[in-house]
Structure formats: C-alpha cells, structure tokens
C-alpha cells in the first residue's frame, strides 16, 4: 500500500508503470486518474484544494486498508494533491492490482467513492471574473457509499 498527499504534480503514467511492476502473480491493474476539468461553457481558471493535514493521510490509509481487507488485492496506491491546480492537471489517482479483474475494478470504484466523501479534501473553483465557489457535495456521493 502506498498513500501520497502532496501539492506537487505527479505523472500518472509513470506511477502506473511503476505500480506493481514486474509481478507475475497479478493479472489485472486498474487505474483511475481525476483531472481538473474546465468546460467551454463554464471555464475555470484554477481548482484550489484544501485539506486537513494529518487526518487526510489517516483517513486515506484507513480507506485503503478497508479495501485490501475486503478484496484480494496484491497492492493499492492513492495519490491526492492539494493546493492550486490548473485545468487539465491531474488531481489524484488510485491504482489497484489483483489476480482477477473484478477485484481490481470493484476496489478502485470503492476507493473512489470513499475518497470522494470520507477523505478531508474540499474543492474551490476559481473563475475568470474573480469569483470562487466551493464545490458542493452531491447527495449521490453519499448514496454511492451504500453500494458497498
């Protein structure tokens, strides 16, 4: 298990290559990468991510441990940035490795649902007109946890 919380950009491809590299007991690797999105009809200048130092690492580690207890995972990785991020930049990634495809897919999906609603990050979108809005949690986000 590896959990990284940092302001710096990361190279999702390089991380994916290094993750579980050279292991022949693994049949399936799933990665999810979250990217700062800026739509043409609602462009943002930047995404600011606030977090709760200390609790963040603790919460993510707990979530990953839950996933590793529940699915037969060979390894799991979570990287999550904080600070000011530009459109198109990677926000975070998860990677899961397992003998079988279903475990890798389900665990990655589980990790994303829990990271979204249980890891102490808050997103603020900065717009060109100087306005800034905290991203609101969706009812769906909380409801998604009931899937597991």
Partner 1 sequence: MDVVYFAWVRERIGVPRESVETQAATVADLVAELSARDARYAAAFADLTAVRVALDQDLADFDASLAGVREVAFFPPMTGG
What residue ranges bind a copy of itself (CB under 8 A)?
Answer: 11-18, 22-40, 87-88, 99, 101, 104-105, 108-109, 112
Q: E strands within 52-110?
A: 73-81, 83-85, 90-98
The distance of Cα 20 from the centroid of its chain, to the nearest Å, equals 18
Please give the biggest Cα pair distance in the chain.
52
Taking contact as CB under 8 A, which single stretch among the options 12-20, 38-46, 66-74, 128-136 is the one that binds partner 1? Answer: 128-136
The answer to whether 59 contacts partner 1 (rule: CB under 8 A) is yes
CA distance 9 to 44: 18
Supply the minimum distance, in Å, between the C-beta of residue 62 and a copy of itself.
21
Closest CB to partner 1 among residues 63, 74 = 63
CA distance 44 to 55: 28
- Please tell me whether residue 61 adopts helix, strand or coil conformation: helix
Taking contact as CB under 8 A, which single stretch among the options 6-14, 18-26, 64-72, 131-139 is the one that binds partner 1? Answer: 131-139
Q: Choose the one of partner 1, a copy of itself, none that binds residue 143, judging by a C-beta under 5 to 8 angstroms depending on kind.
A: none
The answer to whether 52 contacts partner 1 (rule: CB under 8 A) is yes
Supply the minimum distance, in Å, between the C-beta of residue 68 and a copy of itself.
19
By rule CB under 8 A, what count of residues binds partner 1?
Answer: 28
Cβ within 8 Å of residue 49, ≥6 positions away:
81, 82, 83, 84, 85, 91, 121, 122, 123, 124
The answer to whether 95 contacts partner 1 (rule: CB under 8 A) is no
């Amino acid at each position: 298990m590896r959990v990284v919380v940092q302001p710096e950009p990361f190279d999702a491809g390089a991380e994916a290559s290094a993750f579980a590299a050279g292991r022949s007991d693994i049949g399936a690797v799933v990665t999810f990468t979250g990217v700062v999105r800026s739509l043409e009809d609602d462009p943002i200048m930047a995404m600011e991510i606030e977090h709760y130092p200390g609790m963040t690492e603790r919460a993510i580690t707990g979530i990953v441990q839950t996933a590793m207890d529940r699915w037969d995972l060979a390894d799991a990785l979570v990287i999550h940035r904080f600070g000011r991020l530009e459109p198109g930049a990677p926000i975070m990634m998860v990677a899961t490795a397992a003998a079988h495809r279903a475990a890798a897919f389900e665990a990655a999906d589980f990790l994303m649902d829990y990271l979204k609603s249980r890891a102490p990050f808050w997103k603020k979108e900065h717009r060109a007109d100087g306005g800034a809005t905290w991203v609101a949690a969706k009812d769906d986000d909380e409801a998604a946890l009931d899937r597991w």
